Amino acid sequence: MNNRYVVPQKRLGVQELEVKPLLTTTNGKKLKLSAMVDSGCTHTCIDEELVKKKKIPTKKLERPITCRNSDGTIAGKKDITKFVKMDLNINGHNEQLDAVVTPLQSSDLFLGHDWLTNHNPEIDWKQGIIKFNRCPTSCSFPHTDISFEPRIRRLQSNEDTEEKEPDPTNPEDLPAYMKPFAHLFNKKNFDKLPERTEWDHEINFTENAPTEISSKVYSMTPLEREELDKFLDENLATNRIRPSKSPYAAPCFFVPKKDGSLRLCQDYRKLNDITIKDKTPLPLISEVLDQLKDAKVFNKLDIIWGYNNVRIREGDEWKAAFLTNRGLFEPTVMFFGMSNSPATFSRMMATIFREMIQDGSLANYMDDFIIPAKDDEELEARTTRFLKIAEKHNLSFKRTKCEFNVSSTTVLGTVIGNGKATMEEEKVKAIRDWAVPTTVKQVESFLGFANFYRRFIKNFSTIAQPLNELKSKKGEKWYWNDEQQQAFEQIKQAIASEPVLALPKDKGQFRVEVDASNYGTGAVLSQEQENKWHPVAFMSKTLSEAERNYEIYDKELLAIIKALKLWRHYLLDAKEQFEIWTDHENLKYFREPQKLNARQARWYLMLQEYDFLLRHIPGKTNTKADILSRLIKPDTSNDNRGVEMFKEKMFIRRLEESTPIYDITLLHNRRFEILADETLLEKIRKCERRETRVLEEMKKQPEKVWENKGIIYRQGRIYVPDNQEIRDFILHDHHNSPDAGHPGTYRMLESVKRTFWWPTIKTDIRRYVRGCDMCQKNKTIRRPDHIPHNPLPIPDKPWEEISIDMIGPLPKSKEKDAIIVIVDRFSKMIHLVPTTTSLTSMDLAEIYKEEVWRHHGIPKRIISDRGPQFASKFMESLCKALGIERNLSTAYHPQTDGQTERMNQEIETYLRAFINYRQDDWTRWLPMAEFHYNDKTHAATGQTPFFLNYGLHPWKGNITVETTNPTATSLIEELEDVREEAKAAMEANNEMMRERGNNKHHKEPFAEGDKVWLETTNIHSNRPTRKLDHKRYGPFEILKQIGDRSYKLKLPDTWAIHDVFHTSLLTKVRNPEFDSQKKPTPPPPDIINEEEEYEVEEIRGHRRKGRGIQFLVHWKGYGNEDDSWIPRSSLENAEEALSEYKAKLPNGKL
């Protein structure tokens, strides 16, 4: 009675039947009941009201059972805690059973899925008959069948909902000698549960494995729930799964197949993490090919659902349990996704067919079987022998993937036949199909690719000379003669054959280089052989219309997935960890994703099978894969469905100096990684530098400090050992990332301490914040106002009073040029809405309705200035209609609501840190700014706005601390207490504001040689608006003091301004103390033609100067203050930057 989920609620597509049973309870009472058999209910249930009314004795469950709806949401107001023991008689069929007590609506008794599983009755829905012909021996029953009244709850036609199975294999489609085994090609044969054997799949745990693994039920669409029912019912019927009471629960979800149907996948990542890895190797590819190379004729067979042919070792089934909205189930056969599945399956096949493999009659690699023979007679004998063994072990085959009596076949990427092994055409198709160049640029691209392999091609320079001649005649009339065509074909042939292209070997590391363009993906598989990297295969694939619309990082990941699929047989069991080279650094966060769409979920499951490292390489060095990805010539005719609204060139690739490279679309997949294959927790677990103070505290106060699985916890927080690299990483992640948003010391400390702790954490965070150059450049320095503060009265609860203000005008971003800021005065929660400065009172009312009212209801008061929006008659009538009292600020003090002004400053500070140089992508960062603010502790309340509103902190995909699981009641009580404390804190804060009002501000003195920041006041900026520009430039060195309050600074040579500034415009630079904060030294200039030449990172603007044009250049490794205007003639080596800049302009013209 410890089932975790009971689902007595209605579901679509569930058939019910009503019966009239007789119930005998433990106190001897006999009752006639209305009962319903419902496969959608995981457990037999009896109505709570009936139990009370009839005074039926109950017993207490060992632990409560959560009652959930079919979508996984919790049903009812309380857990199930009781059950009833009873004798049940249905027309003479007698049994004993338990039923949990819960409110039911339509019947007294629900006979659930557990009852159906136990009896496995035969049901005739048309005739309305149940046949108890497969009951356990504990039941007694009559020889007559039992009738019932069938009823259907919105049952959909099977024709509409079930995927039609293909007809059983036609024996006539098989060779004559194989017809006696036709049943092995029929899916019905596969439905038999395999027998237990010596190679049953073992799941052995590492030391200190957790005693339970919890997960949540993923929500599903109606179609997915229907497919889930089908999966569960089919596998329960074949006993491949069974109900479970396991403390382990893996989540499951659906991913689409190529044909549009759905496949259920279990996420066994947590299980795999604690499973001892099986090192059984897969067959050597070279040995497999050696067995086949001399054969003249072949049969090739493919096992259907290979893994499901393997039982899980008895007693290990519970470890692989998975959670659904119908409850917890455990597989009795091996499922896809378990880490040791390939090794187990390979060992099983090698054992079953050992004799045939050893005598050369059979070659096997995973689920592929190749039977070689010198003639048809030998092939028939060997195949008959093979099928007899398969029949004995209940193995079935997929006819559509089988080949019979063929003279050649493709095995592991190699074509075997006619006594030799040759390279599969697919490996070199990308090279052989390379289109004849029609421009000099295409010739350069081809030669650029070929140059990587010139050391393997004899006389390469001589062969390529006709093509190099075209490069030297750039700008002249194009020509392509027989001489060029011959050179082109000769180089292609050389690349696609030995010694350039090598057959893979069992030893030697593999490398996969991938890239994606807007229309295709390209990849090169190479292997290190004799200390040289040889290409093994090439790939160039066209993107489908749907794939063309993927985000750029999804295209890059798609390139990896296509390469891994194509070269799976080389990489799946590679003897050495292989590397994947890509020029998109963000892809490293896809290795272990958390929030996935259906497509990424399918990719994720595939990636878990491989042992690889992702290596980011700059695009300029990833030439081979890049060129192959661009070989595709798009067919743009009738292609509206594949049109890209925004071309890749329209997206900004380079960010200004000091701006970390983040892509907000990947934030939910952000991983705690320090090294490519080590998670943060693993790094902490391996670190042995634990401070003595912590170890002593653990001995003296074990209730406060304890160790679990190699991790020390202090009051539930993870102790981070004395390792500067780890601590630096955590600080950087909680300060520099977009969802951290460069918080101050107080807020950063609260954020880090939710999860981590170490003895010097407060000091380290203070040092980190002080040394952040982005904060020093962008944050507003608080100086006390000269007018005393008069804080407004504090509201009693969230969203009772709100303030509204506008930030703008701003540079246009998605046609918006302003931000509406809506603030709850109690919790300090904000909502940020992009808008226009021309919005009317009607527009503002609509924003209020959509962004505030629908979430939080109607406030009692709105605080705002006397702008035209609130002064209009419409807003007055709206406030009156909603019962809202308006409180306009006094004419004397426009900062009546100072919190909104400070909020605006924080929002502007956040945007300065992440927007691009042109300031036209701020709408993209606005949701992150809102999240950042609402998740940070407010000094006035001592809590985050999220927590004051909801009583919980949002989960951000990071590490979870060890804590208790409070009940709903205690959460409500705690939230009420926290709000009372917050109100008291705000009262104290108001008093502090009044006292601060008249305090004077003192600047610290400067000395010669100090580095300072310079306020941007009165300094012209090339950026669109000062509001989102840096607040300070620098750092600059003080050359000397001028008078009492002014200093001379060392400014860039390009600044044509006076170099003496008053001390009020200067702020001392705080040097960074952590490695992650230190910027690399700017690169030295290249020496070209005996002249220094600096690298251009980005061109940011242009202007006409006299008769020419100058460009505003941002130099790589230097700050904005070093940007300079350069004439076109000085940018001859920066054509790529110029092209990118022109592409961003209207019509691509200057």
For residue 100, give the CATH number of its domain: 2.40.70.10
Residue 53 CB: number of other CB atoms within 10 A? Answer: 9
User: Among positive and negative, which fits the CA dihedral 1023, 1025, 1029, 1031?
Assistant: positive
**Beta-strand relationship, 678-679 and 1046-1050:** unpaired
Cα atoms in the Cβ-side hemisphere of radius 13 Å centred on 820: 27
Under the banding of pLDDT at 50, 70 and 90, the label for residue 384 is very high
Query: Is 449 within 8 Å of 457 (Cβ atoms)?
Result: no
Alpha helices, H only, 567-634: 568-571, 598-607, 623-629
Using CA atoms of 970, 972, 973, 974 in order, give the dihedral in degrees to the nearest 10.
Answer: 80
As separate numbers, helices (DSSP H) first and strands (DSSP E) second, the chain gives 34, 52
Rg (CA), the chain: 36
**Residue 137 sits in the same domain as residue 233:** no
Residue of 1082, 1084, 1112, 1116 whose CA lies nearest to 1100: 1112
Condensed to tens digits (0 to 9), the pLDDT of residues 1087-1146 reads 344 444 566 778 888 887 777 788 888 877 666 666 777 787 777 667 777 877 877 776
**Residue 1041 sits in the same domain as residue 1097:** no
Condensed to tens digits (0 to 9), the pLDDT of residues 1026-1039 reads 666 676 777 888 88
Query: Is 909 within 8 Å of 1015 (Cβ atoms)?
Result: no
Residue of 108, 12, 28 whose CA lies nearest to 69: 12
Residue of 217, 213, 247, 242 whose CA lies nearest to 70: 217
Is 626 part of any domain? no
- Whether 160 has a pLDDT exceeding 50, the answer reads no
Looking at residue 245, its pLDDT comes to 92
**Residue 261 sits in the same domain as residue 272:** yes
Query: Is 162 within 8 Å of 262 (Cβ atoms)?
Result: no
Is 642 part of any domain? no
What's the rounded Cα separation, in Å, for the pair 683 and 100? 46
Query: What is the domain-level CATH number for residue 185?
Result: 3.10.10.10
**Residue 896 sits in the same domain as residue 1025:** no
Looking at residue 257, its pLDDT comes to 66
Is 605 part of any domain? no
Query: What is the domain-level CATH number for residue 1134?
Result: 2.40.50.40
Residue 115's φ and ψ, nearest 5 degrees, are -70, -45
**Residue 312 sits in the same domain as residue 241:** yes
Looking at residue 144, its pLDDT comes to 41
Residue with tokens 């309050």: 1045
Domain boundary among 474, 499, 524: 499
- Whether 593 has a pLDDT exceeding 50, the answer reads no
Domain boundary among 423, 457, 489: 423
Looking at residue 322, its pLDDT comes to 93
pTM of the shown model = 0.36
Residue 963 CB: number of other CB atoms within 10 A? Answer: 10
What's the rounded Cα separation, in Å, for the pair 1120 and 1108? 24
Is 1127 part of any domain? yes
Is 388 part of any domain? yes
**Residue 335 sits in the same domain as residue 214:** yes
Under the banding of pLDDT at 50, 70 and 90, the label for residue 645 is very low
Looking at residue 834, its pLDDT comes to 92
Q: Taking the mean position of all CA atoms in its chain, how far away is CA 966?
A: 29
- Whether 592 has a pLDDT exceeding 60, the answer reads no
**Beta-strand relationship, 1011-1015 and 801-807:** unpaired
Query: What is the domain-level CATH number for residue 714?
Result: 1.10.340.70
**Residue 59 sits in the same domain as residue 187:** no
Is 95 part of any domain? yes
**Residue 825 sits in the same domain as residue 699:** no
Query: Is 778 within 8 Å of 909 (Cβ atoms)?
Result: yes
Residue of 1132, 1138, 1120 whose CA lies nearest to 1089: 1132
**Cα angle at 737 between 736 and 738, to 5 degrees?**
120
Alpha helices, H only, 196-256: 222-237
Condensed to tens digits (0 to 9), the pLDDT of residues 662-717 reads 332 222 233 233 332 346 777 788 777 788 888 888 888 877 888 887 888 888 78
Residue 765's φ and ψ, nearest 5 degrees, are -65, -40
- Whether 640 has a pLDDT exceeding 60, the answer reads no
**Residue 151 sits in the same domain as residue 34:** yes
Query: What is the secondary structure of 89-102 as a DSSP string?
Result: EETTEEEEEEEEEE
Residue with tokens 């670190």: 687
What's the rounded Cα separation, in Å, for the pair 303 and 333? 15
**Beta-strand relationship, 262-266 and 327-331:** unpaired
Grouping H, G, I as helix, E, B as strand and the rest as coil, residue 778 is helix
Residue with tokens 């090919």: 289
What's the rounded Cα separation, in Å, for the pair 438 and 448? 16
* Sheet containing 368-373, strands listed edge to edge, beginning at the edge strand earlier in sequence: 363-365, 368-373, 297-302, 403-406
Q: Which of 27-31, 710-714, 749-753, 1121-1125 has the highest mean pLDDT?
A: 710-714
- Whether 243 has a pLDDT exceeding 80, the answer reads yes
The helix (H) or strand (E) run that includes residue 511 is: strand 510-516
Query: Is 4 within 8 Å of 328 (Cβ atoms)?
Result: yes
Residue 957 CB: number of other CB atoms within 10 A? Answer: 14
Query: Is 932 within 8 Å of 910 (Cβ atoms)?
Result: yes
Residue 623's φ and ψ, nearest 5 degrees, are -65, -45
- Token pair in block for residue 571: 């990489």
Residue of 142, 136, 138, 87 whose CA lies nearest to 116: 136
Under the banding of pLDDT at 50, 70 and 90, the label for residue 733 is confident
Domain boundary among 423, 450, 472: 423
Write the CB contacts of 513 (distance below 8 Å, at least 6 apart in sequence). Answer: 523, 524, 526, 580, 581, 582, 622, 624, 625
Write the CB contacts of 259 (distance below 8 Å, at least 6 apart in sequence). Answer: none
User: Among positive and negative, which fits the CA dihedral 934, 937, 939, 943?
Assistant: positive
**Residue 275 sits in the same domain as residue 229:** yes
Query: Is 897 within 8 Å of 908 (Cβ atoms)?
Result: no
Query: Which of residues 815 and 645 earns the better pLDDT score?
Result: 815
What's the rounded Cα separation, in Å, for the pair 263 and 257? 7
Residue of 1129, 1128, 1124, 1127 whose CA lies nearest to 1113: 1124
Under the banding of pLDDT at 50, 70 and 90, the label for residue 399 is confident
Condensed to tens digits (0 to 9), the pLDDT of residues 486-495 reads 888 888 877 7
- Whether 999 has a pLDDT exceeding 50, the answer reads no
The helix (H) or strand (E) run that includes residue 960 is: none
Looking at residue 360, its pLDDT comes to 86
Is 1001 part of any domain? no
Looking at residue 633, its pLDDT comes to 47
Is 518 part of any domain? no
- Token pair in block for residue 877: 């009538």
Q: Taking the mean position of all CA atoms in its chain, how far away is CA 137?
A: 50
Looking at residue 502, its pLDDT comes to 66
Grouping H, G, I as helix, E, B as strand and the rest as coil, residue 1115 is strand
Grouping H, G, I as helix, E, B as strand and the rest as coil, residue 802 is strand
Domain that holds residue 1130: 1086-1148
**Residue 736 sits in the same domain as residue 723:** yes
Condensed to tens digits (0 to 9), the pLDDT of residues 268-305 reads 888 988 998 887 776 766 667 767 767 889 999 988 76
Residue of 306, 289, 301, 304 whose CA lies nearest to 384: 301
**Residue 375 sits in the same domain as residue 431:** no
Alpha helices, H only, 120-196: 158-161, 187-190
Considering its fold, how many domains does the chain have in total?
A: 7
Q: What is the mean pLDDT of the chain?
A: 72
The helix (H) or strand (E) run that includes residue 378 is: helix 376-392
**Strand ranges in 932-1080 using DSSP code E only, listed in sequence order:** 1011-1015, 1032-1042, 1046-1050, 1060-1062, 1066-1068
- Whether 191 has a pLDDT exceeding 60, the answer reads yes
Looking at residue 388, its pLDDT comes to 93
What's the rounded Cα separation, in Å, for the pair 825 and 820? 16
Query: Is 332 within 8 Å of 311 (Cβ atoms)?
Result: yes
Using CA atoms of 977, 980, 981, 982 in order, give the dihedral in degrees to the nearest 10.
Answer: 120
Looking at residue 381, its pLDDT comes to 94
Looking at residue 850, its pLDDT comes to 79
Query: Which of residues 117 and 890 earns the better pLDDT score?
Result: 117
Looking at residue 833, its pLDDT comes to 92
Burial grade of 1025 (CB within 10 A; 0-12, 13-18, 19 or more): middle
Residue type, 269: R
Query: Which of residues 1053 and 199 earns the better pLDDT score?
Result: 199
- Whether 186 has a pLDDT exceeding 60, the answer reads yes
What's the rounded Cα separation, in Å, for the pair 702 and 75? 39
Residue of 528, 521, 522, 669 whose CA lies nearest to 586: 669
What's the rounded Cα separation, in Å, for the pair 1080 and 1116? 11
207-216, 259-268, 673-682, 897-906: least confidently modelled range = 673-682
